[in-house]
Amino acid sequence: MLAVIMRFPKISRSLRQLTSHVLAIALGVVLMVSTLQVLPSQAEPAPTVTVDTSKLIVQRQSPATAAISSTSFVTAAVNRVGTAVVRIDTERTITRRVDPFSEDPFFRRFFGDGFSQQMPPEQQLRGLGSGFIIDKSGLVMTNAHVVDKADKVTVRLKDGRTFEGKVQGIDEVTDLAVVKINAGNDLPVAPLGSSSNVQVGDWAIAVGNPLGFDNTVTLGIVSTLKRSSAQVGISDKRLDFIQTDAAINPGNSGGPLLNGQGEVIGINTAIRPDAMGIGFAIPIDKAKAIAAQLQRDGKVAHPYLGVQMLTLTPDLAKQNNTDPNSPIQIPEINGVFVMRVVPNSPAASAGIRRGDVILQVDGKAITSAEQLQNVVEDSRLGQVLQVKVQRGNQTQQLSIRTAELQNAS
């Protein structure tokens, strides 16, 4: 009896455990049935949902999405000016001087009769460039170096028509030229913008015929402004260029540089053979003024002084003065150092000497060669400029009357 009583607690615990398992299983079955009643099977059709369309809100297209889906601004810009861009082909005949030795019987005995025939006395050179129409009457603007000394100029329009071009005027100093074609009075005209409004970072679109590939368009930005011709490496020009990274190659010369609105802001003119992705364009504001003079007079008169100069700084002068082999001591100041004076020039007549440092012109401080060049370029022919120079330890005031530059070289 005692043994039965002692086993009773064990039986009670077993019953409680069994009851717990049964309740858990029952609860699981209830939850599963509830879930099946709530979730439709995958085979059942989706329920129909009724939407009140009157309360729907239309979401606007974002500017970024609109820009991607719309026509490119480059396309719009090129379409605005494209038919006014032309190709310019030139021909030039050069005559070789006959070497008198080639006609000498003794010379021909050793080299044969065919030697003189290998070098023809005349040779034809062909050139290629670009341009754009600036007037419905057929005025075309391009670079001077594209048409300079050409015997024949052929202008080809985008629609394939070709016309003989007549050079109306050339200005080598600014590398600009105007060509006239007779093609009626309803030609497409390139819209001219203003280079004074151009900023670094603006879009720059170059249009032209690089390497003979007609109607080529390249895109970049304006890299910098007022890059002097001396910095570019063409010291015989008087220009402050627009620098761009839009691809410019031989054949682009004379073609337009456009802004994002399709307006001409510059004329592509120069590339550096030792640089990648750098090109230069003449600002259109400068080109407008030059073109007007070329149409009227056929040339542009440029005043000059007649000095070869260098921007002088105290550091540069100090480097020279500490060199034991330096032939001259230079004042350690800011100004323009005169390296050479052209004989019979206005500067020579006024008494400017090699080694002088130009400090002021008409009371205005001069601190760079580019600044002096701009002051002279903006002066009038025959204008007397009051120039202050330092010569050694003394300063002098000289009067220089500008004269017309006869040869750009």
Given a cut of 90, whether residue 41 has pLDDT beyond it is: no
Domain boundary (297, 314, 330) is at 297
**Residue 109's CATH number:** 2.40.10.10
Q: Any catalytic annotation for residue 145?
A: yes
Residues 341 and 270 in one domain: no
Residues 224 and 268 in one domain: yes
| Whether the Cβ atoms of residue 257 and residue 206 lie closer than 8 Å to each other | yes
**Residue 392's CATH number:** 2.30.42.10
SS3 category, 211: helix
Residues 285 and 309 in one domain: no
Q: What is the mean pLDDT of residues 285-306?
A: 92
Residues 281 and 328 in one domain: no
**Phi-psi bin for 80: left (phi > 0), alpha (psi -120 to 50), beta?**
alpha
State how far the Cα of 178 lies from the Cα of 166, in Å rounded to an integer. 9
pLDDT band at 109 (very low <50, low <70, confident <90, very high): low
Residue 54 within a domain = no
pLDDT at 16: 56
Residues 83 and 170 in one domain: yes
Residues 215 and 292 in one domain: yes
Residue 72 within a domain = no
Residue 34 within a domain = no
pLDDT at 46: 43
Question: Which is the catalytic residue, given 253, 302, 368, 379?
Answer: 253
pLDDT in tens, 16-34: 554 555 455 544 544 444 4
Residue 30 within a domain = no
SS3 category, 46: coil
Q: Any catalytic annotation for residue 202?
A: no
Domain boundary (268, 297, 326) is at 297
Residues 322 and 361 in one domain: yes
Q: Which residue has the tokens 């550096």?
A: 272
Residues 154 and 138 in one domain: yes
Domain boundary (297, 329, 356) is at 297
Residues 123 and 167 in one domain: yes
pLDDT band at 232 (very low <50, low <70, confident <90, very high): confident
Residue 139 within a domain = yes
Q: Any catalytic annotation for residue 21?
A: no
State how far the Cα of 242 lies from the Cα of 265, in Å rounded to an integer. 9
- Encoded amino acid at 277, one letter: G
Domain with 351 in it: 303-404
Rounded to 5 degrees, φ, ψ at 218 are: -130, 150
State how far the Cα of 401 lies from the Cα of 229, in Å rounded to an integer. 24
Given a cut of 50, whether residue 238 has pLDDT beyond it is: yes
Q: What is the mean pLDDT of residues 196-220?
A: 93
SS3 category, 178: strand
pLDDT at 20: 55
**What does the buried/exposed string (b/e) look like for 380-397 if buried means 16 or more CB atoms within 10 Å of the residue's CB?**
eeeeebebbbbbeeeeee
Question: Which is the catalytic residue, given 89, 130, 171, 175?
Answer: 175
pLDDT in tens, 371-398: 998 899 989 999 999 999 999 889 999 9
Given a cut of 80, whether residue 213 has pLDDT beyond it is: yes
Given a cut of 70, whether residue 68 has pLDDT beyond it is: no
Instruction: Name the residue among 115, 86, 87 with its Cα closest to residue 99.
Output: 115
pLDDT band at 191 (very low <50, low <70, confident <90, very high): very high
Listed as own residue / partner, the contacts of 365-373 with beta carbons closer than 8 Å and 24 or more positions apart are: 366/335, 366/336, 367/311, 367/334, 367/335, 367/336, 368/311, 368/336, 369/230, 369/309, 369/310, 369/311, 369/336, 370/228, 370/230, 370/240, 370/311, 371/336, 372/309, 372/336, 373/230, 373/238
Residues 168 and 232 in one domain: no
Question: Which is the catalytic residue, given 89, 130, 145, 368?
Answer: 145
State how far the Cα of 285 lies from the Cα of 263, in Å rounded to an integer. 12
Residue 232 within a domain = yes
Residues 278 and 354 in one domain: no
Residues 160 and 202 in one domain: no
pLDDT at 67: 46
Q: What is the mean pLDDT of residues 215-239?
A: 86
Number of domains in the chain: 3
- 124-128, 226-230, 354-358: least confident range: 226-230
Residue 20 within a domain = no
Paired strand residues for 398? 387
SS3 category, 362: coil
Q: How far is CA 201 from CA 106, 191, 217, 223, in A?
A: 68, 21, 19, 6
pLDDT at 31: 42
Residue 409 within a domain = no
